[in-house]
Structure 1
Amino acid sequence: MSLFLEFHLIQNFAPSNLNRDDTGAPKDAIFGGQRRARVSSQCFKRAIRLAAAELDLLPHENRGIRTKKLQTLLLEKLAERDQQEARAKVEAALSAAGLKLKDDGKTEYLLFLGENEVTAFAELIQQHWDALPVGGDKKSKKDSKAAIPPEIVKQAKALLNGGKAVDVALFGRMLADLPAVNQDAACQVAHAISTHRVEREFDYFTAVDDKGDEDETGAGMIGQVEFNSATFYRYAVLDVNKLRSNLQGDRELALSAVAAFTQAMARAIPTGKQNSFAAHNPPAFIGVSVRHATPLNLANAFEKPVFARQDQALTEQSVAALAAYETKLASVYADAADQWLYLDLTGQWPNDKGDKAASLAELTQKVRQRIDQQLGE
């Protein structure tokens, strides 16, 4: 049976520039015929990964790393070896797996690897140190690649299995040269959009030279930065069965991943321009829905934008609109077994619409328990 875990967040950010476009302005989008503030899915995915690591929500060996510096990571694990020789051995081992290094020692594109995969490569090099050839110029490198024993090639390729890295399992990966080790994402994250219309604003700033002379009365620097303030609707959906499959069938790790994602999703805040704005504003509402028929993104609750009122906050209006739209949509598309868990600081989510939690820790526990009950053995 299909098992989808959805996250619906209403989150108001104070003046900020969390996610910039190529001109330095906050990203935006036209939705429902109105300009909305936007934070890209890529931006929030990275914030989720960083939050999970900073809060130590998962063991180090079950995390992933996105980098071009795989050679450097492996050389650090081979620090007791002669580094010049180790560099050649690393290149040979990666070549056996089908990964190429450029002249600067970096891979041709960003790799998304599990920590276990990196460790396994280092162990492979140690195990087959004498059998791995040492290349020199381009011709000898080509010859050395051909000289790698077939069993080492087979082992090297087998190492790229995801390494039970939760973030790789969640967000997937594509290795252009090795389509066989690509991994389809178990999680989809939508671009966050504001529930209301926004306008760009400009901060004109000056900086004073602390060592300026008495006759230097002007500013040492002037400039401007764009920003906005918005109440966002954030949405993500987890295919729990796919997550478990990506984690090589490890049921307990999949449950730990669900709990970690719940925590990280709530605590994820993009880092853009935070030294200037310090917009550390947690969500006012976190709704988690367990669905079986199909995922339901509720962004269309805000196709008609919410408008500011003196007697009610934008977050309150947004939660009320979200609840009303979900009720209407669920009556047509939802499964009778669908369930809601929620944490609501606005008081606008109906009390009879799901199981209420008083804290993020309690919500996380309830989510894990609910999935544990419904995830097959």
Structure 2
Amino acid sequence: MRERQDRWTEVRRGAGYLLGTLPAAMALLTVLPLFVVGVLTSGLPWVLRPLGESADWHRRRAAGLLGAPVDAPASADRRAAPPRGFAAAWRHAMRSPETRRLLRWLPTAIGTGLLAGLAAVLFLGMAVGGVIMAPIRPVFDLESSFGYVGLASIPLDLGQSLVGAALTWWLLPRLARWHAGVCLAGLEPSAEERLAERVGELTESRAGVLDAHGAELRRIERDLHDGAQARLVAIAMRLGVAREQLPEDDGRLATLLKEAHEGAEEAMTELRDVIRTIYPPILADRGLEGAIAAVAARSAVPVEVDCAELGELPPAVSAAAYFIVTESLTNAAKHSGADHARVRLTRSDDRLLVEVTDDGVGGVDEARGTGVVGIRRRAAALDGSVLVTSPAGGPTEITVELPCGS
């Protein structure tokens, strides 16, 4: 009894699903001429928006029938205003993986929806129509589909009803599940699309982490600069005043004050170095362009600086670029014997390009610890890339690409 009830529920749900699928498939047929019009008038994005809503409706119905989880549709592209112009609007629409899925799903939805929906109407029509027509034909002396009239048509109508009922009972639920599975499969992202979406999510989360990391570095730098360093300065000043007021022949106490004073000054020097390695204060004061100009002015090798308009950069990217330039110029001064170096910073979309060139002897060997390994690690932490060109006799060119978009 329980199995029959479950089966009846499947038949009822499958019939309702397919009877709703047929008019939906017929409605999708109207999208085809609209799609052609959209292609010809650069209105494709506006056609894709109702198509996407229809696909979401089909997805929910199919998932509800199969008891499958419903993935949230990627509808951000539908809400975004398309760019003007035929070519730009077309590229904008076709660049979206969701758009490509919708265009692949549309003919499948129409074909399978019409087929499954018409089959459901046929099965139910046979089951119900035979029962209805069996008592009516003899009364009105109507001819059956097989040419029989009157009472002779009753067995044929009842037989037709039994066949329709059997098809409805056994085949209709399977047909509904088949169509629902095809619908979900057509709207489900492929493995490559899922990977691309995951990469996009990770890129966004990484950008957020980098921004938070940069903000935290600046907070630590401010806390150390305004807190610990200020207190060390105050301590050093008090110790200096105490030394001045203490007689020089006060033996052991004068020695201890001198050691404490010198220790406080050494601690301040070490703390300043730590602050510079955490987040150089000059970056917050002058920005990346000003900080690079200051590094070039302090360099032992004459440096030409070429900084294009960089716009606003994430703090972590600015810090990485600053340290990369600093380390590259330090390496050039220590190892290359260069007479001249050049630093060039440019930005292209979401990439910051850092180029450092010197006219030294070349022959950079990363295995010997020339500092390039540290540059690679800084770039790799931001998913950047490093290209080192250093033939024997020079010149040496270090090119670093850092992602700086959100």
| TM-score above 0.5, yes or no | no
Structure holding more strand per residue: 1
**Larger RCO, structure (CA 8 Å, separation 6 or more):** 1
TM-score by length of 1: 0.21
Structure holding more helix per residue: 2
